[in-house]
Structure 1
Amino acid sequence: MDYVSALVPPVVMAVFFIGVIRVIVKTQGGANKAKEDAAVDAVLARAEAAKQPSGSDA
């Protein structure tokens, strides 16, 4: 019975890991891709606007 208790944690972790990988692969692209890309573009545009000084003191 010791071998069962020794194998359970790695098996549970492997199943969990496979599930996480499947979720990551399924959420790549598809219908949400355009929405995610737009959100990233908006964040990048805000970051670029924040970097540039608003006044022209140069």
Structure 2
Amino acid sequence: MEFPADEQAGAYGRFVEEPTRPETERFFYLDDMDRRLIGKRRVITTVWVSRCSCARSGT
């Protein structure tokens, strides 16, 4: 196993240069399908958290 060079490790998780507007839009734009998927997961998480809270409080 090889470890990354110091330069590679320092650049990890960073852009080499500032991304262009089209690149940024490609990664951060949410279309209708994305929003529906997020909405479904948000509901599932909310229900799960509510049930955990009730279980802790004994109600």
TM-score, reference length from structure 1: 0.49
**Structure with greater helix percent:** 1
